[in-house]
Chain A
């Protein structure tokens, strides 16, 4: 066999000029990529600057004490009251109903898909649930207003056309796939030998799921719930369409109400002059919303750290 002559290395390497040009090119590319990655930080900073900046302007007209303690939010009327409480109760009620639907449903689906479902069922149902994620929220609003609420009225005749119950349930259906998919990923990440240990002790599937898999995946399941809470609190169109847009200081889900998000939509739909108090108020409302989701995320972070299982 005849082996090709080995050429000296200096003939293989690019000439010094090309090598240097390449090094410079590498540096430029790395710089561009880095700039793109840092843009994520700038978006966060920009969000905070815009929200806090306009909110500060808002709080020059409105005292923080009124904002927190007043129980009326009548910014569109002559007699203006700036109490965030009615918007908070609206957000609270619709989110709690939504989570009341989505947390059990999403958890059960996650356990079922990860521990029980035959391969065929999994392959068929998972894509369908993913399609549910793809449905636009305004379409869910239509569904809440014209399907779920009329359906509920058959059982509760006194239910008004705009209420918090219907949208709450629809929010729950909407965020169920988010919770189930994140929780299922966490459960499937639990090492197989833990399950096998439980099976070897004679545990049934259900007992393995509740006593071994769920505790081991707990931190991931909490992450799924936190995601669900953020979605529910930030959900806008379903409530804007189907809950009525009247701020209402109540915890009764049978009544119409406005949430923080639906208030922002309502004001934005009107022709709002830049710099007016109405314009600034939606930034203050947005800041409250941002602080709420931030609070849940930080809380979830500590909860996850507390229960993290390492194997």
Chain B
């Protein structure tokens, strides 16, 4: 840059003006290129949603939501798929959230600097980069055959729980880190123990951030297809798992945990791999419902984050 400045000092005024306007031109060109690049991204999203809506919009009806898959494309529906997705997500939430939040709290509030903490942190970072299908292979070896869970809702839910664990840990840490140290010092000054400080002060203040992370993680888990296929989930399921609530005592049943299942993305993939146009239409409709679910969850998460950021003023 030094040479550049020197030459410009020795330049004729007219040439210097030319250089300045050329540089300003470059600024404008890049601003246009940047805007264009962003529109490529936004356009891709718009094209994708429009394509799905055109192909599958007409298929979405009450009948589609409340029917089982069928050999006849026009009678088929996604009942077993969305029920399966809901139950799998229940297992995922209950496995990933407690462990993920606890791990985040430990790393931020308890961990002492040392090799063990370094190892844990490097592991969390690396797990976030592991391809999702590898989690499927882990689950196939560990849950399906190792623990004998078979191709069940429990196996799938735990698999996705492992998959989103790094997301939950990272967002918990970020949320906790944004709580000012003064809050903790105030609690300690009043004689609170470490856990009392965390439980009564740090965690309540970071709920918004944690919730955002959990929703983002779950919206990723809902759309994950590869790991569920890898554990060998059946694709044609024309029945519902046993109901979690029963009429006889003890009123709750956990039989559904070991039931075979299908989920939305698998149902879509199954229809997509058939040659008939009518099934492709079903795939588009299932895709549309799926996108609405994930995009809806993402929108809620973005909104939550925005709201909490605005509301909290330390």
Contact = CB atoms under 8 A, between A and B. Distances in A.
B83 interface: no
Interface of A: 12-13, 22, 25-26, 29-30, 32-34, 36-41, 43-44, 46-47, 50-51, 53-54, 105, 108-109, 111-113, 116-117, 121, 125, 127-143, 145-147, 173, 176-177, 180, 201, 204-207, 209, 211, 226-227, 230, 233-237, 240-241, 261, 264-265, 268-269, 272, 274, 282-283, 286, 289-290, 293-294, 297
A108 B34 contact: yes
Contact of A40 (B120, B133, B225): B120
A58 to B, nearest CB: 12
A138 B268 contact: yes
B166 to A, nearest CB: 7
Contacts of A211: 1
B194 interface: yes
5 contacts: A34-B110, A51-B137, A112-B34, A136-B290, A237-B269
Contacts of B111: 37
Given A26-B195, A268-B232, A105 B130 contact: no
A285 B40 CA distance: 34
B225 A127 contact: no
Interface in B119-153: 119-120, 123-124, 126-127, 129-138, 140-142, 145-146
Nearest to B145: A274
B225 A201 contact: no
A204 B42 contact: no
Interface stretch (B45-53, B73-81, B180-188, B253-261): B45-53
Given A33-B110, A204-B24, A206-B23, A136 B38 contact: no
Chain A contact surface mostly: helix
Interface string B212-234: 00001001101111100111100
User: Shortest 9 CB-CB distances between A and B: which pairs?
Assistant: A234-B131, A136-B223, A112-B34, A36-B102, A50-B141, A134-B298, A33-B106, A236-B226, A37-B103
A142 B283 contact: yes
Contacts of B132: 234, 236
A232 B298 CA distance: 22
Given A41-B119, A54-B141, A136-B224, 11 more contacts: A29-B195, A39-B165, A44-B126, A108-B37, A127-B302, A136-B223, A136-B294, A142-B283, A234-B133, A261-B226, A293-B129
A131 B225 CA distance: 18
Nearest to B194: A26
Contact of A138 (B30, B191, B223): B223
A265 B134 contact: no
Nearest to B107: A37
B272 interface: yes
Interface string B23-61: 110110011011101101110110110011001000000
A43 B126 CA distance: 11
Contact of B265 (A38, A133, A136): A136
B154 to A, nearest CB: 17
Interface of B is mostly: helix
Contacts of A30: 106, 110, 194-195
Contacts of B273: 241
Given A39-B99, A40-B124, A125-B42, A135 B223 contact: yes
For A34, A134, A264, A274, the residue with the greatest tally of chain B CB atoms inside 10 Å of its CB is A134
Residue among B45, B100, B111, B165 with most chain A CB within 10 A? B45
B290 A112 contact: no
Nearest to A285: B137
Contacts of B63: none
Contacts of A133: 298
Given A134-B295, A142-B272, A26 B193 contact: yes
Contacts of B195: 25-26, 29-30
A26 B198 CA distance: 11
Interface residues of B, number: 92
Contacts of B146: 50
A130 B302 contact: yes
A108 B33 contact: yes
A268 B135 CA distance: 14
B105 A265 contact: no
B280 interface: yes
Contacts of A125: 38, 42
B203 to A, nearest CB: 12
B240 interface: no
B225 A146 contact: no
Nearest to B99: A36
A131 B291 CA distance: 10
A34 B135 CA distance: 23
Contacts of B140: 268
Contacts of B297: 134
B245 interface: no
A234 B163 CA distance: 14
A155 B43 CA distance: 19
A112 B162 CA distance: 35
Contacts of A282: 137, 230
Contact of B142 (A46, A138, A141): A46
A271 to B, nearest CB: 8
Contacts of B45: 128, 131-132, 135
B287 interface: yes
B225 A138 contact: yes
